[in-house]
Amino acid sequence: MQENYLASAKKQFQYYKLLGDKTFDQLDEKDFFWQFNEVSNSIAVIVKHLWGNMLSRWTDFLTADGEKEWRNRDAEFEADIRTMEEMLKKWEEGWAALFNALDSVTQDNFETTIYIRNMGHTIPEAVNRQMAHYAYHVGQIVFIGRMIKGSAWLSLSIPKGKSNQYNQEKFSQPKRKAHFTDEFLEDDNKE
């Protein structure tokens, strides 16, 4: 059961990363710094926050509190990233910390208590907490990308008006065990 949970969690995180990647692919460099208004976060600021959270939560995941003393959460919301390259480096660095930490979890250490701000979590609780947080912010990134692109936006899921066609395709296949992200992740690996 532990291996199934971790494999599923990894696929879900890969899917959220892929949604961000596919949004980034549709944008121009200036778009990463666009803000709806002066109190809204740009994509670059959201990525910087995710990066800070990921480094803090996943560094020494099994042995240290997830809220590191060196983290400066408030600074994560300062708009000081200047280039797309700098932003993408933080994006990749954050996700690498997450996947490396998940890869360190084994049957032997699965019962480790994970602390975040001195609050104990099981590994599934800690992972689920972060998954929900990252899905929230990736959703913001996708929404901002869609606002910027308008009618030129390329859907990242079932395109509007194509639900029946999509369902017909799925129901024409035999019942099977699969993770819903498989088709998205496989398509991405083909590119």
Side-chain half-sphere of 114: how many Cα atoms within 13 Å? Answer: 25
| Mean pLDDT, residues 158-174 | 90
- The torsion region of residue 160 among left (phi > 0), alpha (psi -120 to 50) and beta comes to beta
Does residue 185 carry a pLDDT above 90?
A: no
- Tell me the pLDDT tens digit for each residue of 111-121: 999 999 999 99
**Distance between CA atoms of residues 46 and 140, nearest Å:** 8
CATH number among 1.20.1730.10, 1.20.120.450, 3.40.640.10, 1.10.730.10, domain 2-155: 1.20.120.450
* Residue 1: pLDDT over 70: no
Q: How crowded is residue 113: how many other Cβ atoms within 10 Å of its Cβ?
A: 12
Rounded distance between C-alpha atoms, residue 20 and residue 43, angstroms: 10
Which pair of tokens denotes residue 55?
């480094």
- Closest to 46 (Cα-Cα) out of 139, 141, 129: 141
- Report domain extents, the chain: 2-155
Q: Residue 158: what pLDDT?
A: 87
Residue 19: which pLDDT band, with cuts at 50, 70 and 90? very high
d(CA 135, CA 132): 5
| Global confidence as pTM | 0.92
Other beta carbons within 10 Å of 152: 8
CA distance 28 to 26: 7
Give mean pLDDT, residues 77-102.
98
The first and second tokens of residue 147, run together, are 């606002």
pLDDT (0 to 100) of residue 180: 81
